[in-house]
Amino acid sequence: MLIVVAIIATIASISFPAMTAGLAGVRLSSAAGDAASFFTSSFNRVERREQPAAIVIDPTLNRVAMFTAASGDKPATQLELPSGIVIDAQESRRYVIYPGGAFPHINLVLRNEKGARRRIQIDPVTAVPKIERVEAPPS
């Protein structure tokens, strides 16, 4: 019985790092998908209500928010990123969206605690988000 417990403990200790890395990757992919959905719904809201809005990417608060004239200083909608996922940027960025206007070229990079990164890019012609893996810079 003791030998079986030792074998199970050894297998668990070997597979644990791979399992946590896999969960971090799933969380990063999910957050990237949520960000792409947030951008799409924000563009749709601007077009549907015919009111301009501003999308603010704030790495200090680790959120993406949409502000409208009606919402004032409080975001009309916001995306809070899950724990372990951060916005890979130094400064806040603001993009203004006008109904019937061209869509801004938004580029958002998310990073997890393992260092993996995903880039969400918005095509300025079609407003379709594209999610891609970003290779780590050489060290």
| Span 99-127, pLDDT tens digits | 988 888 999 999 998 889 999 999 888 88
User: Is residue 56 situated within a structural domain?
Assistant: yes
Going by their DSSP bridges, the two strands 93-97 and 53-58 should be labelled as antiparallel
Q: Is the dihedral of CA 71, 45, 80, 89 positive or negative?
A: negative
What DSSP state is assigned to residue 90?
Answer: S
pLDDT confidence bin for 18, thresholds 50/70/90: low
User: Is residue 16 situated within a structural domain?
Assistant: no
User: Is residue 12 situated within a structural domain?
Assistant: no
Q: Whole-model pTM?
A: 0.81
User: Is residue 139 situated within a structural domain?
Assistant: no
User: Is residue 44 situated within a structural domain?
Assistant: yes
Question: Which two three-digit tokens encode residue 118?
Answer: 């995903």
Instruction: Measure the CA–CA gap between 54 and 46, rounded to whole angstroms.
Output: 10
Per the structure, the complete domain to which residue 118 belongs is given by 21-134
Q: Which has more confidence, 14 or 139?
A: 14
Inter-residue contact 57 to 108 (CB < 8 Å)? yes
CATH code for position 57:
3.55.40.10
User: Is residue 73 situated within a structural domain?
Assistant: yes
The mean per-residue pLDDT over the stretch 26-47 comes to 93
Inter-residue contact 104 to 95 (CB < 8 Å)? yes
Q: Can you give the length of the chain in residues? A: 139
User: Is residue 50 situated within a structural domain?
Assistant: yes
User: Is residue 29 situated within a structural domain?
Assistant: yes
Q: Which has more confidence, 7 or 137?
A: 7
Split into its structural domains, the chain has a count of: 1
CA distances in angstroms from 37 to 18, 64, 95, 96, listed in the order given: 29, 12, 16, 18
The predicted pLDDT at position 25 comes to 84
